[in-house]
Structure 1
Amino acid sequence: MKVAVFSTQPYDQASLDKSNQNFNHEVVYHETALGEKTASLASGFPVICVFVNDQLNENVIRTIAANGTRLIALRCAGFNNVDLKAAAAAGITVCRVPAYSPNAVAEYTLGLVISLQRKIHKAWLRVREDNFSLNGLVGNDLYGRTIGVVGTGNIGALVARSFQAGLGCEVIAHDVVENPDLVSIGVKYVSKDELLRRADVVCLHCPLLPDTQHLINADSLKTTKPGVVIVNSGRGSLVDSAALLDGLESGHVGGAALDVYEKEKPLFFRDLSEKIVRDHTFQRLITLPNVIVTGHQAFLSREALNSIADTTLTNIAQFEKNDGHVEKSNIVTAS
């Protein structure tokens, strides 16, 4: 099928080209993001392939539908950037990659926590300046500390298991569905309020829904322990960034590790080093010594990229072969 790929990075094209040797789709790559000003680029393509920061609102959906698009293939798990009701009304199928490599995100999350707790990010900068003093680099052991994991799907379950069985932490979790395998190794499920109250480190791995938006906010932070560490490698809008900054500056929050940010769309996946970033909350966050921010790269492993490419192109092939039908678990519909 003819496929227009938006928000293409070199690593996207490399993995998609490699996988496409097994499918022979006609793929055209665009570096630009999909939005109202660029929707015309999808004209004549029955399939468009998009990523997390592409904009698929009602206006974009109408434009691409009028120009022949019948399938939106998300090369990611999240779909909050797609107006699903508009897609359904336009007769456009939406599919995604629900589980590409949970190990990639889980391992990255552990790396963020360990780096922050042992101040590895600060030590790395010092050594580059030939400063080998250890003053100010005293960290904290994770062994015996209480780790709260919000959301125990594929990624959250791996994070919980790693902290509990691997590092000797006490793990408490919150989810609408309990994972019996985690319970069997000693993970305890508690209410969200109890988790926030007890955890030394809070790791966020739940989906972004109306009731989880700004799960970490000014009120919820008041219930946390002094010195709590907030870790978000899930969805940016799970955290009210201004409230987190206030908590860090007051000293109540002991640290934060963020791979996602609620207003990341104009920032992430591009080089802005020669420009002025006018997001003052973000700029203040990245200056704090007890904060690590990375640019939405937790998913970025070779294994994950290959899995994303294979699943995405398989979804497209199934759509073509089966008269518009894709594996049910990969379809996204409006609830």
Structure 2
Amino acid sequence: MNPPLRQPRGLSRVERQALQWVRRIAAGRMTHGDGEALRQWCQDDPAHAAAFAAARRQWGELADAGKVVLARNPMAARPEARPGPVHWQRRAFLGGAACVAAAATAALIHPPLGLWPSARELRADYRTEPGEQRHLALGQDVSVELNTRTSIAVSQRGRVPGIDLIAGETAIDMADARQPFAVVAGAGRAVGARARFQVRHTANQVCVTCVQGLVQVAHPSGSVTLTARQQVVYDDRALARVVSLDAANMPGWREGYLRFADTPLGDVVEEINRYRGGKLVLMAKSLAARPVTGRFQIRALDKAIAQIQQSFGLQARHLPGGVVLLS
């Protein structure tokens, strides 16, 4: 197999810059500031985004190598065992498989921009890919449905069975179960009793929605009990107040729809990105706060993008790697 990310002769300046970004990612030297700089670089010019998308495709070999390392050495995923910076040399690109795998492992622990699953997600018991949904039976009376980009680990704390929601969104149906079922996400824990409920864990925030029955949500800052069509949000610091939802505002992904009610366009774009490969980029930042109300079919997101484009008078440019620029 040819070594990954080998730099051929004759690369353009932009292609060399894209490779430099990928090398920096692979070496595990990306900071939050670097991530923002990379995001801005991709947005500055469509050619930048296309070049980076092409470099990302080559990253697959590095990611595969990282998975092998994690499988053979689970301790590599622990933050205190994180490898130090790797100084890339020609020898490393021409066959240093160990260096490639180590660098891939480092970047898998804290992937910048969410471009690939983290090490913790890769070690989950169950995980879904972009656009995939999956149904699981955990026990005789408990069913769990995983939405797109969702990772869970099966767990049991004391006598209460449950799951750890590492990332993504899940729906729990245990209306006929004889014992409680718990979902741990972020800083909190939701425990259902003969209930149907959903938990969403994205962007350092957790949202718990009760569909039927009772759900107790415990957080270091307090606890609440949800009844049907009630919802609560929390982060690492605080638990928000409980809100009541009407039928139109209940999560619709299980029925195959994304529902938005006066949702900022920037948030709509981010939600669409969870369901598709590549990246939808809103170049017209002045429109990010404009409200969007509507219902889009998950299996027809290209139509949703076209509707957004038409509604806001945007131009869409399709680039390699599933990158779509709206400007």
TM-score range, shorter chain: under 0.3
Structure with more relative contact order (C-alpha pairs < 8 Å, separation 6 or more): 1
Relative to the length of structure 2, the TM-score reads: 0.27
Relative to the length of structure 1, the TM-score reads: 0.26
* Higher percent of residues as strand: 2
